Amino acid sequence: MLLMFALVDCNNFYDSCEFVVTFAVSCAETLRHQNSPTNAVMIFFHTNGFRKDLPQYYRNIIIKTETPTNSNFDLIKAAYKALDCIYIKDFHHKKVGVIVMNLMPENQKQFSLFSNDNPKHQP
Q: What is the pLDDT of residues 37-70, one digit of tens each?
A: 998 999 988 888 888 888 888 899 999 988 888 8
- CA-CA distance, 20 to 107, in Å (whole number)? 28
- For 98-120, what is each residue's pLDDT tens digit? 999 988 887 766 666 565 655 55
- CA-CA distance, 63 to 40, in Å (whole number)? 6
Per-residue pLDDT at 63: 92
Adjacent-strand bridge partners of 60: 44
11 burial level (CB within 10 Å; 0-12, 13-18, 19+): middle
Per-residue pLDDT at 45: 85
Single pTM value for the model: 0.79
